[in-house]
Structure 1
């Protein structure tokens, strides 16, 4: 079995605490731009929940009925609203995320963060957490081409990190689009986590190899992947 060299982790809901900030920012963007007025509010909000993890420009393009100019304006409004809320509330990690990233890197793996946010929002979150020295790279759809569930973010991370193959990449995220992105890229291991947007059934249906309570279970899951039965034996 190919040794994991690179771990690609989602941000909001996986390594970064969300606390409903994405939905709050969407509501502000919708109010400021009217981007979701063509459908009932409950339907628009459900679409946002269902597409958590996807590129925000893609989400707003759908909500605007394909109006790209309106989608761009709404995306800018969303990013601005997200920054306002995070600025007021602060940014926090999913408990144990930083320690998990450090443990992965201590074990010889590189770690990439990926997100559907624009680079300016992504970097503000990393600044707030003080994680620039903790990770190897961070990517947004603007850096890779297409957002999730396309494989572009995972494959771009692979190329920039210099991993030897897609089989040497592990992916973890809290949404079905995270899982589908890892699967479509051909990643050697894809995990869903229950700390964010989507439930176990959705993550399994998307093709997750494992569903974890949160990101702190990833190191153990990778050990179990490489040495089946050993982790369970140690705890018995």
Structure 2
């Protein structure tokens, strides 16, 4: 279950001294099942970032093994570093890890999710649609050039910066593919799953899927 809305307590500073030494955490700007996202300020520069604070304590996980979650987070960090340096991919600035928490510090995208933006404007002009889709496709092309499939590409996982440039984020389901490798796992978000993903899970003779499911 997600944390209650009034559960705004920060992790014990002793659990992540390095994070607190470098950043000053501010208000909550997002929540997940086992994580909280806070705006934070880098003390040395005054620059704003978004800190995703992942709670690995046993009581927070609803039966999810903490070692599995830690390994999955480390894999996501590895992939984020593989795709780093592209203008349309979220930039991971810093990582801090303790026994009970992992802090991922990202660039701050003040305009939030593409999903919320599309909901607020209702309709987009053809020019604006081309502008957004070109950036999404260029970002996906970069991810695929690193032999990575995202597997959960959706408007909620695309953020917008101050200039409404897209930033593809949330690589929790991403996978590094070997040459010719096909995948058969059912993962992603219902409502956004590609037909190839569904077939791979439903039929014994399915050929599996690869990077095409991101399109």
Q: TM-score higher than 0.5 here?
A: no
TM-score, scaled relative to structure 2: 0.29
TM-score, scaled relative to structure 1: 0.27
Quick check: which has more Rg, 1 or 2? 2
